């Protein structure tokens, strides 16, 4: 579980956390799935996402980004899946995004997944396909496709910001439950 709290820490009024696999585990192709229960409340912004392992060396957006699932508490009916990749100048960014209605669930848990191979990245919620991206769209003359290299996984509970909006101070503690993370490699 990742918990966001209304508490002072240095100059911040709230605390939260992230888990990432940088320096521990990289992924390239396969199925990545996370069974999770999202927090409720305006201002929450839980995400399951990935960045290219070259981020520290080449920066963003040159490393590419795969957003397996993003959710903003001000819009509790939908989840989002996205791909972000650079133009040739490595400064401008292209995106392929999809919003999808959050299905009903008896216990609030859903399985968020991608299936990634050399040609496509496909997005699923509870095994229902809701978005697909053709990797060839990210090809740029003179450089390797950003989605044909390893990425690391990040799971976090962010608060506020331009997209998530104003934080409802009555939602705390906000909890993002992670039941499991699974990776199935494609040989």
Q: How many Cα neighbours within 13 Å face the side chain of 155? A: 21
SS3 104: coil
In sequence order, what are the residues at sequence separation of 6 or more whose Cβ sits closer than 8 angstroms to the Cβ of residue 8?
Answer: none
Residue 57: enclosing H or E segment and its boundaries?
helix 55-58
Query: Which residue in this structure is represented by tokens 């934080």?
Result: 167
Instruction: Verify whether residue 70 is a known catalytic residue.
Output: yes
Which residue out of 3, 7, 33, 65 is catalytically annotated?
65
Residues of 44-63 as b/e, b for ≥16 C-beta within 10 angstroms? bbbbbbbbbbbbeeeeebbb
Listed residue (95, 83, 81, 149) closest to 118, CA to CA: 149
Compute φ and ψ for 171, nearest 5 degrees: -90, -5
In sequence order, what are the residues at sequence separation of 6 or more whose Cβ sits closer than 8 angstroms to the Cβ of residue 164?
Answer: 43, 44, 45, 72, 73, 74, 158
Which residue out of 70, 99, 115, 128 is catalytically annotated?
70
Catalytic site positions: 65, 70
């Amino acid at each position: 579980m990742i918990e966001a709290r209304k508490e002072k820490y240095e100059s911040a009024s709230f605390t939260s956390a992230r888990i990432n696999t940088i320096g521990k585990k990289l992924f390239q192709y396969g199925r990545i799935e996370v069974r999770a229960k999202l927090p409720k409340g305006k201002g929450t912004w839980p995400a399951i996402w990935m960045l290219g392992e070259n981020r520290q060396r080449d920066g963003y957006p040159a490393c590419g980004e795969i957003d397996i699932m993003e959710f903003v508490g001000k819009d509790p009916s939908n989840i989002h899946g996205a791909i972000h990749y650079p133009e040739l100048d490595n400064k401008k960014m292209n995106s392929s995004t999809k919003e999808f209605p959050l299905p009903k669930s008896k216990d609030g848990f859903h399985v968020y997944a991608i299936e990634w191979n050399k040609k496509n990245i496909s997005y699923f919620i509870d095994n229902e396909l809701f978005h697909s991206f053709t990797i060839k769209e990210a090809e740029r003359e003179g450089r390797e496709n950003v989605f044909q290299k390893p990425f690391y996984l990040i799971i976090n509970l962010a608060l506020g910001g331009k997209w998530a909006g104003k934080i409802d101070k009555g939602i705390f503690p906000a909890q993002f439950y992670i039941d499991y993370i699974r990776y199935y490699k494609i040989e």
